[in-house]
Amino acid sequence: MFDPYKVREDFPILKRKINNHPLIYFDNAATSQKPRQVIEAVKEFYEKHNANVHRAVHTLSMEATELYEEAHEEAAKFIGAKSMEEIVFVRGTTEAINLVAYSWGLHNLKREDEVLATLMEHHSNIVPWEILSKIKGFKVKYVDVNLDGTLNYESLKEFLTPKVKLVCITHVSNVTGVINDVKTIAKLAHENGALVLVDGAQSVPHMPVNVQDLDCDFLAFSGHKMLGPTGIGVLYGKREILEKMEPFHGGGEMIREVSFNHETRRCKISWNELPWKFEAGTPDVCGAVGLTAAIRYLKALGMDNVKTHECDLTEYALKRLKECLKVTVYGPYDASLKCGIIPFNVEGFNSHDVALLLDSYGIMIRSGFHCAQPLHQKLRISSSARASFYIYNTREEVDRFVEALKEIEQTL
């Protein structure tokens, strides 16, 4: 088990004071803070290795290319992919899901087909499918969620018919932190002939994830939620599926050859090999370098340790929040069923008011829908405040958080 107090020394931003209070950062489900190791890796790239990749034979380009390809290798090993060819770099989870929608869905989904999502999905795993359904004519259906925020597996089995060609499922809810049994869901989907797309934005940074063990067909996650820079993310796809897919973006780097036929006055185009056929244009090389540093940092801590720390902190926070007389917590109280995310409301206050009041204590949380309006409708709440933990958070911070909420309760 790692020492969170020692970990905190690697994060310069945690030395800040907000409104004359030490910064407490509980908005990790939105984005994580960056350790010095990631910041220095980004700085070193721009100071020593900055160049475009795969485009030149000079030293800087060779160095940048090596670092970029190394990042694919590190990401592949981190999630248990078979090879770097199964790792496509994108801007984040949202772009990864859109890539699947337009590279796979646009060419494989027909009017009589169905895509199955759930009511706990982030909008990024709902909106692309609804947009595409208007183009292709297929139906998007939604698995129900129980009032405690857990997935209704009976509803899943009911909707999972041979018409379903793709199951879109979040590994961990970004609202309640509930962990879904993706391995079982993938088995059920495959038995019905459907592929499985997993939104791993809230799971990959917080717990061990092995795509071969889960047997998912696609997995999407973002670097900025796991200590890395913004603007870099990963789409994992099984190689045999990616090889059959058409590119999402067209341009430089994603082609093998473009030849012009003077007789037909047309260009003949052949695609590059994996994963480059999905990475058009100049990529975020520096973001990839930062992601490598983030992955290595997490691997050094141990993802089992990361999950254990968050579970311990969540259990402690849930216990202490019971002391608050006007606080309602949503989702299960069993910390073993979830990652470190706690949605709540304070009686008499709008969630945004709660966030602003906590900010006056130097405590950063999120408020609103968290890009998951259907789940809020299911839970019968207009919005929620959300506290989310990570490797650098401590019990002392939870104590300050709870005491601040008690003071807020007294203002009405």
Gap between the Cα atoms of 345 and 330, Å rounded: 8
Q: Which amino acid is located at 314 in the chain? A: T
Q: Which residues are catalytic?
A: 371
Q: What is the pLDDT of residue 342?
A: 98
Separation between Cα atoms, residue 405 and residue 351, nearest integer Å: 12
Measured CA angle at 174 (ends 126, 249), to 5 deg:
45
3-class secondary structure per residue, 40-83? HHHHHHHHHHCCCCCCCCCHHHHHHHHHHHHHHHHHHHHHCCCC
Euclidean distance between CA atoms 26 and 45, whole angstroms: 30
pLDDT at residue 245 in the model: 97
For residue 252, the model assigns a pLDDT of 86
pTM of the model: 0.96
Query: By the 8 A CB rule, do 406 and 398 touch?
Result: no
- Average pLDDT of adjacent 10-residue blocks, the chain of 412 residues: 96 97 98 98 98 93 97 98 98 98 98 98 98 98 96 97 98 98 98 98 98 98 98 98 95 88 89 94 97 98 98 97 97 92 97 98 98 96 97 98 97 84
What pLDDT does residue 211 have? 98
CATH classification of 4-30+302-409, choosing from 3.40.630.30, 3.90.1150.10, 3.40.50.720, 3.40.50.620? Answer: 3.90.1150.10
Question: Where are the domains positioned within the chain?
Answer: 4-30+302-409, 39-299
The correct CATH number of 39-299 out of 3.40.50.2300, 3.40.640.10, 3.90.1330.10, 3.30.70.1140 is: 3.40.640.10
